[in-house]
Amino acid sequence: MYKVKIYVTLKNSVIDPQGSAAKQTLETMGYKEIEELRIGKYIEITIDESVKNVDEMVNEFCHKLLVNPVVENYRYEIEAGVKQ
C-alpha cells in the first residue's frame, strides 16, 4: 500500500485567524517568545498498491477537493510498500 502525507498551509499573504487566536492565548499564558503561529491541515491517505501513478492521483485529490488553491499551498510525501 501507499501511505501519502499531505501538508496544507495557508498562503503567507492570507490572514490565519485560528493561528492568531492560538498565539494570543499562549501569550496570555505567559509565552512571549512566539514570533508566529500558523495552523493548517495534515492529511494521511492510504492508497491501494494497484494504483500506477500515485503522484497524479494525489495532485487530483488536492486540486479537486482537499486544497483551496486561492488561499492554500500544499506539499506531500509518498511512502510505498506500507503494510496495513
Give the nearest distance from C-beta 61 to its own copies in angstroms.
6
Strand partners, 52: none
Report how far residue 61's alpha carbon sits from residue 73's, in angstroms, rounded to the nearest whole number: 14
In the range 15-44, which residues lie near its own copies by CB under 8 A?
19, 22, 25-26, 29, 31, 33-44
Report how far residue 20's alpha carbon sits from residue 2's, in angstroms, rounded to the nearest whole number: 35
C-alpha cell at 54: 500515485
- Under the binding rule (CB under 8 A), the answer on residue 48 touching its own copies is yes
**Footprint on this chain of its own copies (rule: CB under 8 A):** 1, 7-9, 19, 22, 25-26, 29, 31, 33-48, 50-51, 57, 60-61, 64-66, 84
